[in-house]
């Protein structure tokens, strides 16, 4: 739960929309070309967890998704990892196999 630290009532739970307002103000203050929204932070977290090597079911549990399909949208394989996957398959080919 997020609480009010700078607005009344101090220490009370933030009202709906307050986080949006806070992130919008911080985005402007930072001079960003677009506003940051709470779901963008969630998406970054999900993508980073998967990029760090978490299994899909682990990310699913951390994000509170009911199905793996909901979590798959956070998969963004890097080009380097895709290249490594192709090289691993090539390494499995028997020596002298026709190309």
pLDDT band at 95 (very low <50, low <70, confident <90, very high): low
Instruction: Show the tokens assigned to 52.
Output: 């760090």
pLDDT over 90 percentage in the chain: 53
Q: Is the pTM of this model over 0.75?
A: no
Q: 47 and 14, same structural domain?
A: no
Structure tokens at 50: 């998967």
CA distance 7 to 27: 19
- Band (pLDDT 50/70/90 cuts) for residue 99 is low
Q: What tokens does 95 get?
A: 């020596």
List Cβ neighbours of 96 (8 Å cut-off, separation of 6 or more): none
Q: Domain count for the chain, please give it.
A: 2
Place of tokens 């999900």: 46
In a domain, 97, yes or no: no
Pairwise CA distance, residues 43 & 24, whole Å? 17
Is the Cβ–Cβ distance between 51 and 78 less than 8 Å? yes
57-88 pLDDT tens trace? 999 999 999 999 999 999 888 888 888 888 88
Residue 48's domain comprises 37-91
């Amino acid at each position: 739960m997020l609480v009010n630290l700078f607005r009344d009532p101090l220490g009370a739970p933030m009202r709906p929309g307050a986080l949006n307002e806070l992130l919008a103000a911080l985005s402007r203050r930072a001079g960003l070309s677009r506003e940051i929204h709470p779901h963008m932070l969630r998406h970054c977290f999900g993508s980073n967890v998967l990029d760090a090597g978490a299994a899909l079911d682990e990310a699913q549990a951390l994000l509170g998704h009911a199905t793996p399909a909901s979590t798959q949208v956070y998969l963004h394989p890097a080009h380097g990892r895709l290249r490594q996957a192709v090289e691993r398959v090539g390494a499995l080919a028997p020596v002298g196999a026709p190309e």
